[in-house]
Structure 1
């Protein structure tokens, strides 16, 4: 493995980006408080404007990260995410609002960044990061900030960053606990040095299963942005070679030293990983090929409801939205089982496995996700309303 640089040994790294961009008069006014900081100043702010940062995931961690990267004046912000906004996201994903429910998260995030800072160029990647596109996407940026919540994507991002040679600013949250570090092969450890193998599937519950304090996202996401700004400008000491641990309940932050593993298969002295892998298989996850999604359109559901009224068809119509949404509008004859309870498993007992189940939500995004969750749990006769209430009421 490449030995840590002299700069790292002394506690700092050289600036990641050259100050090629000039600031406009409007930007000089906007970034005045940065310009007053000796560690950043005019040159550091120009480095920020020249920087290209990719944020993976526009969710809990991605939201504060995007907000403060945009506010800081990062010149190019890339956002990669293929998910849609759900009501349960709004407790922590502050880049989105109520009117964004059902929209692609990338589209919502692009609008928010444009409002926060019109001087930032936003590149929207409305797609899932995979082994097929990761190297190309990561290669367009100087630094990657990871806001994802699953091990397969973390290993993918780490490996892509190591192979391309860019730093990986990592954050993780669960319940009241958070972790932050910077992994940069050749300058310190990579993610595999700290976590050589992923935990067995199901051992570590997701935030959807175990919950998360919404404001914890702000604490950890902001810490990630601080690391990104320091790397870009060369200010201070980065978390390369260190792990920061936050306990929100105890109001404590602790920093642990972490070392590169000389036997790491990715960044060690004799690497065996020279290309991206099958990360679903690495993490013991099922194949990514999704099962078919049985759907009904508005006309079909109306016909089914009429047939049920006449006793000619038997099925359960399930509203997977939140109770407050149901107070505004609903399809008569439906029952409420919120998606969050289906995700956690708590609501599965309310759904019959021996009858046809039809799910609906506002736009169809949450009902489709809930359908897949039921399929994974063993339900075979389950459908969802394509287009949701928006299509049904049109």
Structure 2
């Protein structure tokens, strides 16, 4: 007992001494303060994708003191990732991304809980991973997964932050199901087709950093109870001329998720069809087989990339950009087996299919130059 008769028990405190020092710049902000920082500490966030977008998102969320972060990614670190995926270094190549990211974030902030899930988001695990979360961040690079995130979050009434990147352009939005706001399917009712990914179209290295920081910014504000201007709005970013534009979103009256309330399980066929496009094609040949035949006199190599791409690196053979192929068929001989190649195998497969319809014997290098180069290193 003290002299005034009160019990001399230590007063409860929200943070340890090391936490207070770590987060003091947040706590000093009147808009966040100790209460907002405590909200961050008590939050559970699921980040799906640990690559270009996931790298800045995870670094800033971990640094900000998000108490529990679940990292979901079924991919491994590759040399081509290091141009933009700043979580990783040379020593991480061939390591599972989620595990490597967890190790890096543990060094940054040992005060938080990190779970690494080394498998892609799927119908089998999406609900169990998303259900405990206070917020989900979509840092993926494919539409099928993005629709799955939307549909599960809509069913479970979970807010999520979306971002996507393409060359010099980016998009970002916060979706909050259950309050009459639009969902991702309201914005994109049908899955876009013919959109080249980063492997084919390229991407400015800092662009995922820019969009990832916008995601992290909205996430921190949302969890701390601050205004989130991207809620039900779509931010459009053009890095080439540094312009920003916001679009107000409107809920669709015939959205199969918002209005018809179909769950992810009911939309199983949709994801199956989307994922089927990633399966191997009979015209594709492996990097190993390509290596064994590329110098054969009966084989003609056909580079279908752009002139700029070819000037950076090529493997000899004939060069006809895919856009010019139809008008230059006369340059090709039907007496040889044509093996098409490009950066990632997407354009070369289109070329091979086009040539096959015209009676040529042809193949496409699966995975493109990137896969072949890794196999011969």
TM-score (norm 2): 0.73
* Local SS of the residue matching 1:112: helix
Higher relative contact order (CA 8 A, sep 6+): 1
- The answer to whether structure 1 residue 145 and structure 2 residue 137 are counterparts is yes
Match of 2:28 among 32, 36, 39: 36
Moved more, 221-230 or 106-115: 106-115
* Local SS of the residue matching 1:136: helix
- The answer to whether structure 1 residue 207 and structure 2 residue 194 are counterparts is no
Q: What residue in structure 1 maps to residue 148 of structure 2? A: 156
Larger Rg: 2
2: CA distance, partners of 1:49 / 1:185: 24
2: CA distance, partners of 1:247 / 1:264: 29
Spell out the pairing of 1:263-342 with structure 2 (5 A cutoff): 263-268=254-259, 270-273=260-263, 275=265, 276-281=267-272, 283=274, 286=276
Spell out the pairing of 1:37-186 with structure 2 (5 A cutoff): 37-186=29-178
The 3 A distance-change label for structure 1 pair 123 and 273 is: closer
Q: What residue in structure 2 maps to residue 320 of structure 1? A: none
1: CA distance, partners of 2:248 / 2:134: 25
1: CA distance, partners of 2:206 / 2:242: 13
Note if contact 1:231-1:238 (Cα within 8 Å) is conserved in structure 2.
no
Deviations 1:116-158 (A, max 9, x none): 1111211000001111211111113111101111111110111
Question: Cα distance, 1:271 vs. partner?
Answer: 2.9
The 3 A distance-change label for structure 1 pair 389 and 271 is: closer
Structure 1 residue ranges, 4+ long, deviating more than 2 angstroms after superposition:
270-283, 285-297, 353-357, 369-384, 388-393
Q: What residue in structure 2 maps to residue 194 of structure 1? A: 187
Deviations 1:316-370 (A, max 9, x none): 9xxxxxxxxxxxxxxxxxx986xxxxxx989xxxxxx94999xxxxxxxxxxx97
Q: What residue in structure 2 maps to residue 240 of structure 1? A: 231
Note if contact 1:91-1:214 (Cα within 8 Å) is conserved in structure 2.
yes
The 3 A distance-change label for structure 1 pair 278 and 124 is: farther
Moved more, 371-380 or 123-132: 371-380
1: CA distance, partners of 2:95 / 2:197: 23
Note if contact 2:287-2:365 (Cα within 8 Å) is conserved in structure 1.
no
- The answer to whether structure 1 residue 227 and structure 2 residue 187 are counterparts is no
Q: What residue in structure 1 maps to residue 242 of structure 2? A: 251
The 3 A distance-change label for structure 1 pair 392 and 242 is: closer
2: CA distance, partners of 1:345 / 1:132: 38
2: CA distance, partners of 1:274 / 1:128: 16
1: CA distance, partners of 2:239 / 2:338: 44
The 3 A distance-change label for structure 1 pair 354 and 23 is: farther
* Local SS of the residue matching 1:278: helix
Question: Cα distance, 1:258 vs. partner?
Answer: 0.8
The 3 A distance-change label for structure 1 pair 390 and 154 is: closer
Note if contact 2:148-2:264 (Cα within 8 Å) is conserved in structure 1.
no
Deviations 1:279-332 (A, max 9, x none): 44454x5366668999999xxxxxx9xxxxxx9xx999xxxxxxxxxxxxxxxx
Unaligned runs of 5+ in 2: 1-12, 301-312, 316-320, 324-335, 354-361
Unaligned runs of 5+ in 1: 1-20, 298-303, 305-310, 317-334, 338-343, 347-352, 358-368
The number of residue pairs the alignment matches comes to 327
TM-score (norm 1): 0.70
